[in-house]
Structure 1
Amino acid sequence: MKTILTNCTVIACTGKQPMKDVIVIVEDDKIAEVKAGTYSQAVGEGERVFDLEGGYVLPGLWDVHAHLGDLIPDPKHLLETESPIDYAIRAGRNAMDALRAGITGIRILGEDHYADVAWKRAFDAGVFVGPRLFVCGKAMCITGGHGHGTLGSVEVDG
């Protein structure tokens, strides 16, 4: 499947100026080519063409420190009283919401009930559509350090 994005500005996040009025060609879910100009060819079999009408294209964003099921603040103290299933559902919903906001990768630094591991498996298997998750299960911390005693954290001094 080939997807062609036309009439767009690409922000490549390389420090260079945005590329205006370009065509982006995506093949096999990867950007194959970015070139200046307009697309005037007939749409071929297996091709989709989208006129972005001057819209922007940028790489997927990353969240490099996340706890998907966490509630900050937690004025109703839900984390102390809710079931592991409710926690896991919220974690998955938050991951899917992140993808809709443009975050395509999340590094998760600890979740209760291994919710991060379960959602990673579900996304990787295609059961749900979500961002790429990089998970650790239980949080890791130094003795008495940040995160000590939370999310079932494990002390890993050494």
Structure 2
Amino acid sequence: MHKIIKAKGLVDVAGKRVVSDPVVLIDGEKIAAVRTREEASLLPREAEVIDLFDKYLLPGMINCHAHLVLPGDGTTLETWVQNSNEMFLLTAARNARTALMSGITTMRDCGGRDGVTYALREAVEKGIVAGPRLILSGRMLTITGGHCHPFHGEVDGPDGVVRAVRQLLKEGADFIKIIATGGGTTGTHPEWAAFSPAELAAAVETAHRVGKKVSAHCRGI
């Protein structure tokens, strides 16, 4: 089924211009053509027409660093982590829908707890909940007692790091998130290094061996 979207303008990022009076043809889930109102006669007549009148169209935005399981309302980490994974999942679903309705069509989530964000991604892909395309790290890897340790990603030693990275990749992680320094978690400090150079190298080498990247929380060093 074809759809035609009409609007006042279209932000063409690649062309660095704004197209006036655009007419966009949607074929299934893909943009098939972009025309102006003068060229509308070239488009299928049986298509459903959505007229946005004075609105502007623009490409979907990308959020490169998110934590969907967090409430974003000022609640302290120590308080929030007392909640169950079920509450984390419901919160993540709400945040994903809010992001999508705000024009974000891809989100890179840099750390959840257990399998919560994987479950959310599956629900989005199956159409159970509305949300953007999700790129996930799964659990953040941190030293015992390190920053974000309540998210259940504690690991120590190069061998332990290798096993943890392999497990995350097995679970479906798109990339690895590692906590390289302290942060806001009680008992840690942003200027304190966490993993040793050997542990960091083990994480990167293991991920790179299968074509995956590593992202690091790193403050103050």
Greater shift, 87-96 or 75-84, is seen at 75-84
- 1:104 equivalent to 2:105? Answer yes
Kept in 1, the 8 Å contact 2:7–2:56? The answer is no
- 1:117 equivalent to 2:160? Answer no
DSSP-derived class of the 1:81 partner: coil
Size of the alignment, in residue pairs? 155
Q: How does 1:53-64 map to 2 (within 5 A)?
A: 53-64=53-64
User: Per-residue deviation at 1:54?
Assistant: 2.8
Distance 2:16 2:50 in 1: 25
Distance 1:41 1:13 in 2: 24
Report the equivalent of 1:28: 28
Higher CA-based Rg: 2
- As a proportion of its length, which structure holds more helix? 2
- 1:157 equivalent to 2:200? Answer yes
Report the equivalent of 2:5: 5
Q: What are structure 2's unaligned runs of at least 5 residues?
A: 155-177, 179-198, 202-221
Kept in 2, the 8 Å contact 1:4–1:23? The answer is yes
Moved beyond 6 Å, runs of 4+: none
When residues 36 and 67 of structure 1 are mapped into structure 2, their CA distance, relative to the original with a 3 A threshold, is same
Q: How does 1:9-158 map to 2 (within 5 A)?
A: 9-14=9-14, 16-38=16-38, 39=40, 44-45=45-46, 47-72=47-72, 73-75=74-76, 77-140=78-141, 147=147, 149=149, 151-153=151-153, 157-158=200-201
DSSP-derived class of the 2:90 partner: helix
> Residue type matched to 2:124 in 1?
F
DSSP-derived class of the 1:87 partner: helix
Distance 2:4 2:19 in 1: 16
> Residue type matched to 1:88 in 2?
L
When residues 101 and 7 of structure 1 are mapped into structure 2, their CA distance, relative to the original with a 3 A threshold, is closer
Kept in 2, the 8 Å contact 1:147–1:153? The answer is no
DSSP-derived class of the 1:113 partner: coil
Question: Structure 2 length as normaliser, TM-score?
Answer: 0.61
> Residue type matched to 2:200 in 1?
D
Per-residue CA deviation, residues 10-37 of structure 1 (Å, 9 max, x unaligned), is 1122251111112111112111111223
- As a proportion of its length, which structure holds more strand? 1
When residues 150 and 17 of structure 1 are mapped into structure 2, their CA distance, relative to the original with a 3 A threshold, is farther
DSSP-derived class of the 1:4 partner: strand
Question: Structure 1 length as normaliser, TM-score?
Answer: 0.82
Q: What percentage of aligned pairs have identical amino acids?
A: 28
Greater shift, 5-14 or 20-29, is seen at 5-14
Structure with bigger RCO (C-alpha 8 Å, 6+ apart)? 1
RMSD, matched Cα? 2.7
